[in-house]
Amino acid sequence: MIAKGLIKENRKRLLAEKARLEKLLGKIAEPNPDIEGDYKAIYTDMGDDADENATEVSEYEANVGEERRLEEKLGLVNDALKRIDDGTYGVDAKTGKEISEERLRAVPEALSDIIHEEE
């Protein structure tokens, strides 16, 4: 059984990570009002000059990639917090066995033990 102290510690870590990810997302994206947990990268209009347009597109493309990466990580963090709330935290999603405490200390949002990720 996963130690309650570890669960409490990881909840705190996950909440801090959630706040950090939301702050980073807020700099490059805005929440999608139609889909909970979804964000849309911000397109910044810098002007009508060809160089400005090229910069706009380049920046937007970078923001889209970063928005997707941050959104995916935020989803994993939110899912881990839900598992803590519903009592299934620390259970390997593939096998139903307990995830090692070492794994959960290293990756609090882990869905599986590292051994099973290779399968």
pLDDT digits (tens, 9 = 90+) for 84-113: 999 999 999 888 899 999 999 999 999 998
List the domain boundaries for the chain: 4-117
pLDDT tens string 42-99: 756 555 666 555 656 567 676 778 889 999 999 999 999 999 999 999 999 888 899 9
Judge whether 105 and 14 are in contact, CB under 8 Å: no
What pTM, to 2 d.p., does this model score?
0.80
* Tokens 């307990």 belong to residue: 98
Q: Quote the CA–CA distance of 28 and 76 in Å, as a whole number.
A: 19
- The domain at 4-117 falls in which architecture? Up-down Bundle (1.20)
Judge whether 81 and 18 are in contact, CB under 8 Å: yes
Residue 87 main-chain phi, psi, to 5 deg: 85, 10
Q: Quote the CA–CA distance of 54 and 62 in Å, as a whole number.
A: 12
**What percent of the chain has pLDDT above 90?**
53
* Residues facing residue 29 across a β-bridge: 41
In single-letter form, the type of residue at position 78 comes to N
Q: Quote the CA–CA distance of 46 and 52 in Å, as a whole number.
A: 6
HSE at residue 5, side-chain half, CA atoms within 13 A, is: 0
State residue 113's pLDDT score: 84
